[in-house]
Structure 1
Amino acid sequence: MNHPYPYPAIASFLFMLAIFGNPAADAGTPVGQVTQLSGFVMAVKANGVLKVLSSQSVVEAGDTLVSEENTYVRLGLTDGHQAVLGPQTRLEFTSESRLSLATGQLQVLAAASPGATRLTIMAGETTVDSGTASFNLFYWPDPAAALARRAYTRASLALAASAVQSDAGTGIPLLEQVATTFIGQYVAPAVGVSPGPATGTLAPGLHVMVLNGAILMSNGGGSQNFTAGQFGFVRTSVQPPILVPNNPALQFTPPPTFLITNAPGNTSNMPKPDAIDCEVR
């Protein structure tokens, strides 16, 4: 799908985060590190600062990562898990052991250490307890809700008082141009809502594919365990998770280079958070 603005997923919520912020009790605490990257990904910091990430970038509690089309990002988390973001994904790192998936595709790979922290993922109002499992999540909110969010952020951007500013530093002028383009082109005439899943066949809601181990999914409608080889689906937060007998066209296909070549979650050589990356304020 061709978009009239360069990075639609990022543009769709920049101003909303700038207004309301994204407070986190542990904001600034390192929770992981980018180990592989194919494409373009940004972190929206808890204070509203935007940071373009690259390989070896540190991710902190309070960061919301936003990946663009054809982008895959592998992260080694400090507790030993690995997480791989797919295209057009928004994922918030609330803390070391708690993530919030707003939309998109996420693969979680179990930690090598048996004593690793249990990872909890929120998708809408459904909680996924990862246990010791590896699994893929696909979350696409209802299109009507997505349209409402997009209309709201478009109106907010139109009311922006000034262009995005940035810190002085190498590479910042280009980043300023990109960030300014976000605002300049996003207030252009409205376009349709992104179709969501690349396959175009998945129903809106939360889909899961368990690769190994077992997970527990729960919400206001009930709870359900899923084990290796099983598929699950949650339509709304008031309907219980259900077992799906066959793969409903779930595809998670990172580049061939995204192979596990080192121990999961190895962050022993993690650089200081302010030692790398470009920031836009």
Structure 2
Amino acid sequence: MKNQPQKCTATKPPRGVAGALLFAALLMAGNPAWAAQVAGMVARLSGPLMVKKADGSVKVLALRSEVESGDTLISEKNTYAQIKFVDNSEITLRPGTTFKVENFAYDEGKPEGDDASYSLVKGGLRSITGLMGKRNKEKFLLKTPNATIGIRGTTFVAQYVPAPGPASPKTPVGGPPAAPVMAPGLYVQVSDGAIVVSNAGGSLGFQAGQFGFVPNPSRPPVLVPSNPGLIFTPPPAFNVNPGGPLASQGPEGRPDTVDCIVR
């Protein structure tokens, strides 16, 4: 007799990311003690995405997996992952990124409680402002090892390149030439709106179309005249309205990679 695969049972949410986020909000209202920590969910995914929970446990996330305050997300080397937060903001992680949701609090009727604090440990991301960023710009903060980033109603890309370790990979003899290596530091690019980058060395604002660089935590941010090598190329589906059908889904709007009975 063949072994049957293990399956899980869950309540079926509305289709689409917008409906699923509404579903999460309804769960919050029914069980505030549990759901107050829910910040958003995985809206797009091109490969493995891990999460380290606040209690130290590690899990694999799938499409529509919830993301909570205190979660540390780790994208694998070929993975782009887009997180849709409950205020309709988006953060898309590039491959090889470690990103922590330090704290996220949003209630449409209580703007005084807004808070969005994140940490980019390594790697890169694209951030698109949501409702919180439009009404309480000062409540958004992205921390990095070299500086913090505040917004002014914004779409921006940030990438932190750590200093290479002693065991950094080298190009094999006779192999293809290595890709250009960016100098260690924090790089930013603003596509829309503006950001302010600050550290112990000072603060500097960047407008749409500008690039910036912060070499270390003590030296001030500087304006870079052209793209220093930032590359952010998620799959085309990541640029489709995430309120519609999700990428990599099977019938009934369920992710192909999740073995789950939805009722």
Corresponding position: 1:208 with 2:227:
no
Other structure's SS at 1:258 match: helix
- Taking the aligned partners of 1:199 and 1:110, their CA distance within structure 2 comes to 32
CA, structure 1 residues 27+243, in 2 after alignment: closer, same or farther (shift >3 Å)?
Answer: farther
Please tell me whether the aligned partners of residues 86 and 106 of structure 1 are also in contact (alpha carbons under 8 angstroms): yes
Q: CA deviation at 1:277?
A: 9.9
- Taking the aligned partners of 1:71 and 1:83, their CA distance within structure 2 comes to 14
Aligned to 1:240: 220
Aligned to 2:130: 111
Aligned to 1:193: 168
Q: Select the structure that is richer in strand.
A: 2
In the alignment, structure 1 segments of 5+ residues that lack a partner are 1-25, 148-191, 265-275
Please tell me whether the aligned partners of residues 87 and 131 of structure 2 are also in contact (alpha carbons under 8 angstroms): no
Q: CA deviation at 1:110?
A: 1.9
Q: CA deviation at 1:78?
A: 2.0
Q: CA RMSD in A?
A: 2.6
TM-score computed with the length of structure 2 as normaliser: 0.68
Aligned to 1:218: 198
- Taking the aligned partners of 2:35 and 2:70, their CA distance within structure 1 comes to 5
In the alignment, structure 2 segments of 5+ residues that lack a partner are 1-33, 105-115, 171-177, 245-257
- Taking the aligned partners of 2:35 and 2:136, their CA distance within structure 1 comes to 21
AA of the residue aligned to 1:107: R
What does 1:45-60 align with in structure 2 at a 5 Å threshold? 45-60=53-68
Aligned to 2:237: 257
- Taking the aligned partners of 1:32 and 1:244, their CA distance within structure 2 comes to 34
Alignment: residue pair count: 194
Please tell me whether the aligned partners of residues 146 and 185 of structure 2 are also in contact (alpha carbons under 8 angstroms): no
Please tell me whether the aligned partners of residues 36 and 75 of structure 1 are also in contact (alpha carbons under 8 angstroms): yes
Aligned to 2:152: 131
Aligned-pair identity (%): 40
Q: Which structure has more RCO (C-alpha within 8 Å, separation ≥ 6)?
A: 1
AA of the residue aligned to 1:44: K
Counterpart of 1:33 (choices 41, 56, 74) is: 41
- Taking the aligned partners of 2:129 and 2:204, their CA distance within structure 1 comes to 20
Please tell me whether the aligned partners of residues 210 and 223 of structure 2 are also in contact (alpha carbons under 8 angstroms): yes
Aligned to 2:119: 100
Please tell me whether the aligned partners of residues 199 and 249 of structure 1 are also in contact (alpha carbons under 8 angstroms): no
- Taking the aligned partners of 1:228 and 1:125, their CA distance within structure 2 comes to 21
Please tell me whether the aligned partners of residues 81 and 109 of structure 1 are also in contact (alpha carbons under 8 angstroms): yes
CA, structure 1 residues 222+51, in 2 after alignment: closer, same or farther (shift >3 Å)?
Answer: same
AA of the residue aligned to 1:126: A
